[in-house]
Every structure is written in structure tokens, then in C-alpha cells.
């Protein structure tokens, strides 16, 4: 087995775990308040990141006040904002819809770079944005969505994607490079503090503590958060960045399939059309980047 093929396997497994976060969040949404669930997730994952950081001897470089401010903002948006909006949105919409919307993350991140960083858009990127937008519109226009809570739920999921896109954007503004494992430990620790404070003001009596939700939080903390991190970086170090980006298209596929298999959700023509548009957008974006790298 070649090193690159090993990388493909690791990246595939990593993206399957990302897709499974939608299913876990759907279960969590039915039994825990969003900030409490987020704080529990980080509390469970944080010791493992500290252990991994110790074993790998990953050090924290000296950071400026500017970098610490970015880290705090990243934790608030990408760590806490993403998770709480995802859980809140899944109270109102289906996991299949959420899976399609989350799949637009690479395209949304690129669009944010154009709008905020002023990066010059390539024609392939503009086509990818149009395809991804068509995919989201396809599920937003599902019959009955406009009259019910699913439109609000879809909007919350899209808000979660924008939070994660801001996380990626802010990472480009860091003045000092931080090792990935150290940065994940920092994000988890800061996220725990932020979500923990917000959780104090939630109405726990109204939501209760469902055993299934607690198990889902444990799964989210250990498998997608810690395990997904290990799989992704094990895979990405074996292939190019452009090749790795292509595998993000697996996440929405796995989310929709798992929603059908595990939750028994109906997957209609709108979801299938939406996921086809999103996959085409992500793969097209990845191939365009791969071609530009090989030409350089």
C-alpha cells in the first residue's frame, strides 16, 4: 500500500466522522441545551488533546497580543459558535438538510476570503459558489420548508458554516504559526471556558439530560473531535493540500447516508439534487486548485 493511498483512506475516514457530527448533533439537540452540550464536548476532548500534545512534545510558541485575540475570536466563532448553531439548527431541520449545507464549507470559506480579504476570484471559484448556492437553495425550497421551522433551522446551519469559515479566515491572520495539535488543544480549552460560562445561563430544567444525548456528546468529543483530528492530519501529511481538499466532499455524503440509515429520515429529490450540486462545487474547487498547483 503506497503512502498516498494510505493518506486517501485516512482522509476518507476523517470526513466520514465529520459527517457523523450531524447525526450526533441531532441526537444532542433533543436532550441537551446547546451551550451545555458544547461545554461537555470540550470538557471530554480537552484531556485527550493535552495528552497527545504531551506525547508529541508539541510546544506553544510565544504569541503576541494580536495572536491571542485572534485565538479567542476563533474559539468563539469556530469552536463554540459552530457547535451551538449546529445543535440549535438541528432542533428545527433534518440531519439530511444539515449535511448538505455543511458540505458547502470549502466554498463558503473561499467566498469569505473574496469578500473580506479582497482575494481575486477565479472563474472556477465563481462557478463553485454558484453550484453550492444552488444546492442550498434546493433544500431551502423543499415543499413545506417556507411555512415551518425548517427554514429557520437551515439558516442556523448556514450560520454555523459561516462561523467555521471565519475560523479558517482568521487563521490566515495569525502572525505566528502554531502546530496543529497545539492549536486544537487551545481551541478546545478556550471553547470550554466560553461555552461553560454561557451554559450557566441556560434553562436545564426545560431540556433535561437525555442519556442518548450524553452518549452522543461523548461520541462527538472522542471520535470526530479527537479521532477526526488524528485521521485528517495523518492523511494530509501523505498527500498534497489540493488533493486533501477534494475529500471534504465526502462529509455531506456521509451525513445524508447516516441520516437515512441511523435516523430513518426521508431523503427526497431536493436533498439529492442539493448534495449533487455541493459535491460538484467542492470537487470542482479542489480540481481547479490542483491544476493551478501543477502548473506553478
Each residue's pLDDT tens digit, 123-142:
776 777 777 778 777 766 66
Q: How many domains does the chain have?
A: 1
pTM of the model: 0.87
| Residue-level pLDDT at 190 | 95
CB 188 within 8 A of CB 45: yes
CA distance 167 to 60: 19
- pLDDT tens for 198-210 read 999 988 766 567 8
Q: How far apart are CA 8 and CA 267, in angstroms?
A: 28
Residue at grid coordinates 493518506 = 7
Q: What's the rounded Cα separation, in Å, for the pair 35 and 186?
A: 18
* Count of CB atoms situated within 10 Å of the CB of 61: 10
DSSP state of 248: G
- Low-confidence residues of the chain: pLDDT under 70: 1, 119, 121-122, 125, 139-149, 205-208, 241-243, 285-296
Domain ranges, residue 143: 3-295
pLDDT given at position 242: 63
Grid coordinates standing for 92?
A: 428545527
| Predicted local distance difference test score (pLDDT) of residue 116 | 74
* pLDDT confidence of residue 220: 97
CA dist., res. 139 & res. 129, Å (int): 16
H-helix or E-strand spanning residue 142: none
Contact 53, 182 (CB under 8 A): yes
Amino acid at each position: 500500500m503506497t503512502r498516498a493511498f494510505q493518506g486517501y483512506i485516512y482522509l476518507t475516514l476523517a470526513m466520514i466522522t465529520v459527517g457523523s457530527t450531524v447525526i450526533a448533533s441531532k441526537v444532542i439537540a433533543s436532550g441537551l441545551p446547546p451551550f451545555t452540550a458544547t461545554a461537555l464536548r470540550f470538557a471530554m476532548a480537552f484531556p485527550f488533546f493535552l495528552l497527545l500534545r504531551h506525547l508529541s512534545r508539541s510546544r506553544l510558541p510565544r504569541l503576541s497580543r494580536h495572536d491571542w485575540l485572534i485565538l479567542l475570536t476563533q474559539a468563539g466563532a469556530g469552536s463554540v459558535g459552530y457547535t451551538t448553531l449546529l445543535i440549535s439548527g438541528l432542533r428545527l431541520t433534518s440531519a439530511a438538510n444539515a449535511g448538505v449545507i455543511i458540505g458547502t464549507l470549502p466554498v463558503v470559506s473561499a467566498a469569505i476570503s473574496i469578500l473580506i480579504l479582497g482575494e481575486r476570484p477565479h472563474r472556477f471559484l465563481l462557478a463553485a459558489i454558484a453550484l453550492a448556492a444552488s444546492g442550498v437553495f434546493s433544500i431551502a425550497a423543499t415543499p413545506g420548508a417556507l411555512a415551518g421551522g425548517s427554514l429557520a433551522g437551515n439558516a442556523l446551519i448556514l450560520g454555523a458554516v459561516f462561523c467555521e469559515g471565519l475560523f479558517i479566515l482568521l487563521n490566515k491572520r495569525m502572525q505566528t504559526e502554531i502546530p496543529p495539535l497545539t492549536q486544537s488543544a487551545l481551541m478546545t480549552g478556550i471553547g470550554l471556558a466560553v461555552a461553560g460560562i454561557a451554559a450557566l445561563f441556560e434553562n436545564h430544567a426545560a431540556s433535561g439530560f437525555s442519556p442518548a444525548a450524553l452518549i452522543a456528546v461523548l461520541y462527538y468529543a472522542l471520535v470526530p473531535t479527537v479521532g477526526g483530528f488524528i485521521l485528517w492530519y495523518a492523511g494530509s501529511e501523505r498527500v498534497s493540500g489540493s488533493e486533501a481538499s477534494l475529500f471534504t466532499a465526502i462529509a455531506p455524503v456521509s451525513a445524508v447516508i447516516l441520516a437515512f440509515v441511523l435516523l430513518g429520515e426521508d431523503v427526497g429529490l431536493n436533498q439529492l439534487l442539493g448534495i449533487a450540486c455541493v459535491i460538484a462545487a467542492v470537487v470542482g474547487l479542489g480540481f481547479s486548485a490542483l491544476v493551478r498547483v501543477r502548473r506553478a
